[in-house]
Structure 1
Amino acid sequence: MRFKRYTAGVAIAAMLASVAPAQLATAQTAPETPVAGQLDPSAEQTPQRRPTAADFDLAEGLVVLVNDVPITSYELRQRMLLLIAMTQVQPTAESLPAIQRQALNNLIDEKLQRQELARFQVNIPDEEVDAEIAMIAQSVGITPEAYLGYLAETGVQPETVREQIRVETGWQALVRGRYGPRARVGRNQVDQTIQRISASASRPQYLVGEIFIDAARVGGQQAAMNGANQLVEQIIQGAPFMAVARQFSAAPSAASGGDAGWLIQGEVPQGLQTALDNMEPGQLSRPIPVEGGVYILYLRDKRDGSSTSMVNLRQVMIEADAGASDEAVAAATARLNAIRSDLTCDNILERSRQEPDLLGADLGESDINDLAPQFQQVARSAEVRSISAPVRTPLGVHLLAVCDRRAGGPAAPNYDEVESRLRGQQLSMLARRYIRDLREDAHIDFKG
């Protein structure tokens, strides 16, 4: 997850620069409000505070056996220090239990991933790890030595970082190799998604960041709520939301810093919808309990939506003006019904040129609201790449091919964007299922 490491590098670069702390304004709200506070967007890209020196003790020795492979207290402490450096979550008495729990979960997953990499003989050479570190450092304008040097100052040994990158890079390669061919997205799935977006385009929309604390992974619903409260407090105090989401969130969006994209009103659970309806851009929610865990939402932006829906139509028609007899209209309708099952978006115009009684036309892309009233219902509701039933207008009888449909406006996603997002979601789901299955089959023995 290169983007994950990139933002960590931004945080480190900004800390090295020793700039003044980011300014955050906590919203003065009544206890019942879903809003926890207002975030400074600049803190997201340029975190500006150095974490408090981590002062905590762990009993020396063995912590967990994962399929007989040990996790030691040294490894756990190193991972906690790395987590603190990456997220800027301050190591207080209240936050340390959540940091330790997350670090241990990460280590268990990493041990299982390392075992899978060995089983499939996936090896990431030192040169590739060096290149990754150099890329992180270059992206934030510092040298690899400065990047590793800062981590060393916070107590993180370079080998801890290198091994995390090695396993992470290898795991991504393994997941792509095993599951990439299965993360296929059919045209119908993309078309249906675009149709849903288009149909909902007039509703309010929210650009959302999310953190989901999975109760099953942290010891129950109350532990999830306690941990979420600590994270909200830390984010309000300056920990970058995206960095915290990458390290603590169990949602699929964690890999992209909690970016859930634009959500449409009415398509999220009621508890989340209520919070979004009562938030303004830049605000962070209080923890929102749901079945199985707790959400934290960051409303980055919102918009009223647009009623514009665009459709791409082609047609064949048989002329029959308003004065045509019922018999003529019936004959035209029967003629079009007879060929309807043979027509597609790809062949409808060619077919019209082959038969003298048919008139074909590519109507191109139009705003549905600008179409003839008789065409609008088909344009709004017919499946993409389907052929309509015969439609009567004052000009004749028509068959309409709905070849594409999308939400209008500059923010509307195109086919490639929707396809890429759906494929990424599928691959992420398969990767989560993979590690979940490894956990379920593993022998994990907690010591002490």
Structure 2
Amino acid sequence: MPRPITHAKRNKSAFPARAALVLFGAVAALPAAGAGREAAAQLPSRTQVAPQENRIVAVVNGDVVSRADVVGRARLFALNAGIAVAPETLDRLAPQVTRLLVDERLRMQEVQRRRVPVTDAEVADAVAELERRNNLQPGGLRAQLAQVGVQSRVLYDQIRTQIGWGRLLRQQLGPSAVPTDAEVEDAMRAAKARVGQPEYQVSEIFVPVDDPDTEGETRRFVEEVIRQLRAGTPFPVAATQFSQSQTALQGGDLGFVRRDELDPEVASVVERMPPGAISNPIRVPGGFQIVALRNKRESGRDMATMVSLRQAYFPFTSALDQNNPTPQQRDQVERAQRLAQEARNCNAVEQAAARAGGGDRPSDPGQIRLETVTPPQLRSLIAGLQPGKASQPILTPEGVLVMMVCSREQKNLAELTPEQLKSQLLRDKVENLSRQLQRDLRRRANIEMRS
């Protein structure tokens, strides 16, 4: 039975709704929007850990990584992935989580050495934005962490590092970070010459191998991540927690890429993968890569029907029994019927939605690609609606829905704009610098690993 549309499917980054959590690479909580500076005073200190978890597992240039740090990050991943926080799960994750935390310490030390500012208020605002984008109450993410025994600082430290690292990379690149008009023009000419060639919509997780002695251990960890992905863990969640690529900030999303933009080892695998598949570990220069193929298309050609709509949802206070509806349910159905008969434009539907109080169901779900709407019955219903004409009320067990199409147009989603090419060129520059700088930091660091 059709349900209200909760978010738009976008042409570049169409992940499940949970991917929206990947703003700065983490999920948890701080006070709501506007309370960033108040929250700053509440940030826990790094020393607030349970005494039994104070065991040191690594020392990075004099900075300690404790067992509590490792357990907290592993539990955060397990929470995001929806898997049980069992001792054996933590044990499997521990070696690679330790390595991840070592790299984060190196990044944060470099951020501090170069005096790149990251304020507590910025961290608080970032997490408040996560809550807003996921329709969570202020403090809701913090409560989720507390339920599984994860201290809030685990999240705050991760976000602080990622904000600072991104800022540092852009400072390092300086004026050269912004592609010139000539570079964009060259890229545009090359894109036009490639029209008709295959392109692949790919997501990645990159796990580095800096020490050949640990390659076997790293491969086992990568295989465990793949096992969790194939069991249903959202790819953006795993990428956010464990990928050492800059694309981790976007849940591993590479967008549409050509064969020559991938490592040869990855390209040969991607070409043979069906959409929806997740690869086995792929050994690439510097480490292992996991890729998920989300879609295929021809370069420069991706015609789609793009629809904007409005929807008003009238919720029931109890589950519907069609043979014995309650007075409240009858009233809601009557309200929906009046709207379907009287609404003459999308503004009327939007106003009705505001009065109906449909909870987390937005009146405007954004521009939608009609071909991707599920289930098929809902796709057919939307395809059959004339712009400006309301649908008949759609009955569900939880409420009744009225929809109206505002506009419908055919668009070539693969047609690149100069701004898209500029963003792509910038992303490549930042990614290359990130990997190079991380390797340099590891090579110069004094890292003591303890059993």
The match for 2:426 among 413, 423, 433 is: 423
1:142 aligns to 2:136 (yes or no): yes
Q: C-alpha root-mean-square deviation of aligned residues, in Å?
A: 3.3
- Any conservation in 2 of the 1:207–1:301 contact (CA below 8 Å)? yes
- Any conservation in 2 of the 1:95–1:227 contact (CA below 8 Å)? no
- Any conservation in 2 of the 1:221–1:292 contact (CA below 8 Å)? no
CA distance in 2, matches of 1:119, 1:288: 35
Q: CA deviation at 1:268?
A: 4.0
Equivalent in the alignment of 1:223: 217
**Structure 1 residues 191, 211: CA separation in 2 closer, same or farther (over 3 Å shift)?**
same
**Structure 1 residues 183, 219: CA separation in 2 closer, same or farther (over 3 Å shift)?**
farther
Query: Under a length normalisation based on structure 2, what TM-score does the superposition of the two structures give?
Result: 0.59
Question: Residue 278 of structure 2: SS of its match in structure 1?
Answer: strand
CA distance in 2, matches of 1:447, 1:224: 17
Structure 1: unaligned runs, 5 residues or longer: 13-57, 309-407
CA distance in 2, matches of 1:117, 1:271: 33
The match for 2:256 among 259, 262, 272 is: 262
Equivalent in the alignment of 2:196: 202
**How many residues were matched structurally?**
303
1:441 aligns to 2:431 (yes or no): no
Supply the AA of the counterpart residue of 2:67: S
Supply the AA of the counterpart residue of 2:248: A
CA distance in 1, matches of 2:301, 2:91: 48
Question: Residue 302 of structure 1: SS of its match in structure 2?
Answer: strand
1:4 aligns to 2:11 (yes or no): no
Question: Residue 118 of structure 2: SS of its match in structure 1?
Answer: coil
Q: What per-residue deviation string (whole Å, max 9, x for no partner) do you get for residues 118-169 of structure 1?
A: 3344443333332222111111111231110110111111233233333333
Supply the AA of the counterpart residue of 1:86: N
Question: Residue 210 of structure 1: SS of its match in structure 2?
Answer: strand
1:110 aligns to 2:86 (yes or no): no
Question: Residue 106 of structure 1: SS of its match in structure 2?
Answer: helix
For 1:1-400, what aligned pairs fall within 5 Å after superposition? 4-5=22-23, 8-9=26-27, 60-88=54-82, 96=90, 99-216=93-210, 220-265=214-259, 268-305=262-299
- Any conservation in 1 of the 2:21–2:133 contact (CA below 8 Å)? no
Question: Residue 179 of structure 2: SS of its match in structure 1?
Answer: coil
CA distance in 2, matches of 1:435, 1:291: 14
**Structure 1 residues 266, 425: CA separation in 2 closer, same or farther (over 3 Å shift)?**
closer
Question: Residue 212 of structure 1: SS of its match in structure 2?
Answer: strand
CA distance in 2, matches of 1:216, 1:295: 14
CA distance in 2, matches of 1:172, 1:252: 8
**Structure 1 residues 213, 307: CA separation in 2 closer, same or farther (over 3 Å shift)?**
same
CA distance in 2, matches of 1:125, 1:271: 41
CA distance in 1, matches of 2:195, 2:268: 20
CA distance in 1, matches of 2:205, 2:216: 16
Structure 2: unaligned runs, 5 residues or longer: 1-19, 30-51, 303-410
CA distance in 1, matches of 2:418, 2:85: 45
CA distance in 1, matches of 2:247, 2:60: 27
- Any conservation in 2 of the 1:8–1:87 contact (CA below 8 Å)? no
Q: CA deviation at 1:410?
A: 4.0
Supply the AA of the counterpart residue of 2:423: S
**Structure 1 residues 136, 182: CA separation in 2 closer, same or farther (over 3 Å shift)?**
same
Query: Under a length normalisation based on structure 1, what TM-score does the superposition of the two structures give?
Result: 0.59
Structure number with greater CO (CA < 8 Å, separation at least 6) is: 2
**Structure 1 residues 267, 224: CA separation in 2 closer, same or farther (over 3 Å shift)?**
same
Q: CA deviation at 1:98?
A: 5.3
Question: Residue 132 of structure 2: SS of its match in structure 1?
Answer: helix
Q: CA deviation at 1:221?
A: 4.0
Structure 1 or 2, whichever has the larger Rg, is: 1
- Any conservation in 1 of the 2:24–2:163 contact (CA below 8 Å)? no
**Structure 1 residues 144, 162: CA separation in 2 closer, same or farther (over 3 Å shift)?**
farther
- Any conservation in 1 of the 2:245–2:435 contact (CA below 8 Å)? no
